[in-house]
Structures are given as structure tokens and as C-alpha cells.
């Protein structure tokens, strides 16, 4: 028998002891995606119909490259966090849940790496 109160036993512990971190990561990436998403959409609209050389010269600007990498990082992180919540909430068989969570992690990391490396390759390749 413990002399601790029930409140003292559970204080600071979430449902899985990491829910608060996940909650804040998803909110922070969502807030970061607001200005980055507006900038990204503006860039797409501004360069709609432009030729390859014009777009690549725009992407070679260091500020644009950094903004693009930040956008991709925030977007893929936010996507991963959101997909994890969907799987954790709606997949009830434990083996399927674990397999899908691993697949989501591998897929998002691979796609993020591919996208970021592609942007950096365009930015660092000289015409």
C-alpha cells in the first residue's frame, strides 16, 4: 500500500507518457506551415508557366532554398504525425498497427530525404 495520493501517482504522466510532446509537435508544424505554405503557393503561382531555367535560378537563391527545405521538413513531419494519429485511433489489431506505424515512418523519412536532396541538388548544381 502506498501513502501517495492518486493525483501524486499520475501527475506528469499522459496516456502514453509522450502525448504532450506529440501534441505540441503537431501544433508547431501546423503553425510553421501557415507562412511557409503561403510562400510556397505564391511561388507556384508566380512561376506557373515559367521555363526550367527560370525556376531553377529562383531555387538557387540561398534564402529560397532554405525556405523550401523548411517547408518540406515541416510538411513531412506534420504528415507523419497526423498519419500516426489516424493509425493509432482507427487500427485496433496491434500487429497491423505496428506494421503501419513503421511503414509510415520509413515512407515519410524516405520521401522527405528524396525531396530535400532534390532541392539541394538543384540549388548546388551550376548551369
Q: How far apart are CA 59 and CA 119, in angstroms?
A: 8
Task: For residue 87, tell me if it sits in a domain.
Answer: yes
pLDDT tens digit string along 90-100? 999 999 999 99
The verdict on residue 6 lying in a domain is no
How far is the C-alpha of 90 from the C-alpha of 100, rounded, in Å? 11
Residue 7 lies in a domain: no
> Which residues span the domain enclosing 63?
16-124
**pLDDT (0 to 100) of residue 125:** 86
User: Is 1 within a domain?
Assistant: no
Q: What mean pLDDT is predicted for residues 100-121?
A: 97
11: in domain: no
Residue 5 lies in a domain: no
Q: Count the Cβ atoms, other than its own, within 10 Å of residue 59.
A: 19
Residue 15 has which C-alpha cell?
Answer: 496516456
pLDDT tens string 4-63: 677 666 665 555 556 688 889 999 999 999 999 999 999 999 999 999 999 999 999 999
Cα 52 to its chain centre, rounded Å, is 27
CATH code of the domain containing 84: 1.20.1300.10
Domain membership of residue 92 (yes or no) is: yes
* CA count, 13 A, side-chain hemisphere, 59: 24
In a domain, 55, yes or no: yes
> CB-based contacts of 32: which residues, under 8 Å, 6+ apart?
70, 74
- Domain total in the chain: 1
Least confident of 9-13, 66-70, 77-81, 100-104: 9-13
Amino acid at each position: 500500500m502506498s501513502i501517495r495520493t492518486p493525483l501524486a501517482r499520475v501527475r506528469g504522466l499522459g496516456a502514453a507518457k509522450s502525448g504532450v510532446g506529440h501534441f505540441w509537435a503537431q501544433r508547431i508544424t501546423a503553425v510553421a506551415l501557415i507562412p511557409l505554405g503561403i510562400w510556397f503557393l505564391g511561388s507556384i503561382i508566380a512561376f506557373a508557366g515559367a521555363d526550367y531555367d527560370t525556376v531553377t535560378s529562383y531555387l538557387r537563391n540561398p534564402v529560397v532554398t532554405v525556405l523550401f527545405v523548411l517547408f518540406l521538413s515541416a510538411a513531412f513531419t506534420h504528415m507523419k504525425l497526423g498519419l500516426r494519429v489516424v493509425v493509432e485511433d482507427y487500427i485496433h489489431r496491434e500487429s497491423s498497427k505496428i506494421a503501419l506505424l513503421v511503414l509510415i515512418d520509413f515512407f515519410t523519412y524516405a520521401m522527405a530525404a528524396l525531396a530535400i536532396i532534390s532541392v539541394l541538388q538543384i540549388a548546388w548544381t551550376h548551369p
